[in-house]
Amino acid sequence: AESSDLPASFLGSTEVEQPKGTEVVRDAVRKLKFARHIKKSEGQKIPKVELQISIYGVKILEPKTKEVQHNCQLHRISFCADDKTDKRIFTFICKDSESNKHLCYVFDSEKCAEEITLTIGQAFDLAYRKFLESGGKDVETRKQIAGLQKRIQDLETENMELKNKVQDLENQLRITQVSTSPAGSVTPKSPSTDIFDMIPFSPISHQSSIPTRNGTQPPPVPSRSTEIKRDLFGAEPFDPFNCGAGDFPPDIQSKLDEMQEGFKMGLTLEGTVFCLDPVDSRC
């Protein structure tokens, strides 16, 4: 759902140290109101804007061209307040997507500021629900998948170690059989087999059985450490945190984590008295 464009005067934005707090926004409002008085005394007009509030964020538009001047995503908005003495003034704190700094935006609205802050709060609540119904669940699911994948890799490693131990025991058994055979009665016999009646794999015998081409030696067999680690079905193990572009790109994962962190911080709505200094009286 998207609200109709709400007209307002944009006093500006200023960096603040904290994502929440009445004192934080009070100081920001005082600073920007003072700057507004200076601009008015110099004959400058306060820019008019339109606010577009939806579950996707708060957009600040240029009224005539509808050009987006600022796009504040809801999961980045942490604090929203309106002035109980000046019903037209409201403000919110948003974390900038590029600099990651907390910016306080201050507006003078022709409509009741309290209604606008409540609208932003309702939009935040709806956006959080939508996030949980869709991508938000993927964050926990992928963490569970990562845990299961690690367990599978541990089992594969354990399985490989057991195979190596079985191979060593078979080699020792073969050596023992050769050493205990009667002297002079050595006859060619087929390679020994394992408990499944299969010939054990031997890297040396396998390599020597490869015929040469045009008198040249075959390429050396790569060592096991350089091979791509694969699962029992010959496929590369799936890693949700180190995946190809066709699976889950890291930028999407980081975006989901960022949204989850922002929504978990929550949005604080507050009605307060920003400032009673004479300089803040309307002129």
pLDDT tens-place values along the chain, 283 residues long: 555 688 999 999 999 999 998 899 999 999 998 998 888 888 888 899 999 998 888 999 999 999 999 999 988 999 999 888 778 889 999 999 888 899 999 999 877 788 888 888 888 888 888 888 876 555 556 666 667 777 888 888 888 889 899 988 888 888 887 777 665 555 555 556 656 566 665 555 444 445 555 555 555 555 555 555 555 555 555 554 454 434 445 666 666 777 777 676 667 776 665 544 444 444 3
Q: Could you give the CA distance from residue 125 to residue 131 in angstroms, rounded to a whole number?
A: 10
Q: In 3-state terms, what secondary structure has residue 246? A: coil
DSSP 75-137: GGEEEEEEESSSTTEEEEEEE-TTT--EEEEEEEESS-HHHHHHHHHHHHHHHHHHHHHTHHH
> Can you give the pTM of this predicted structure?
0.53
Q: Could you give the CA distance from residue 114 to residue 116 in angstroms, rounded to a whole number?
A: 5
Q: Could you give the CA distance from residue 97 to residue 91 in angstroms, rounded to a whole number?
A: 18
Q: Could you give the CA distance from residue 126 to residue 215 in angstroms, rounded to a whole number?
A: 74
Q: Which two tokens stand for residue 243?
A: 């995946």
Q: Could you give the CA distance from residue 279 to residue 283 in angstroms, rounded to a whole number?
A: 9
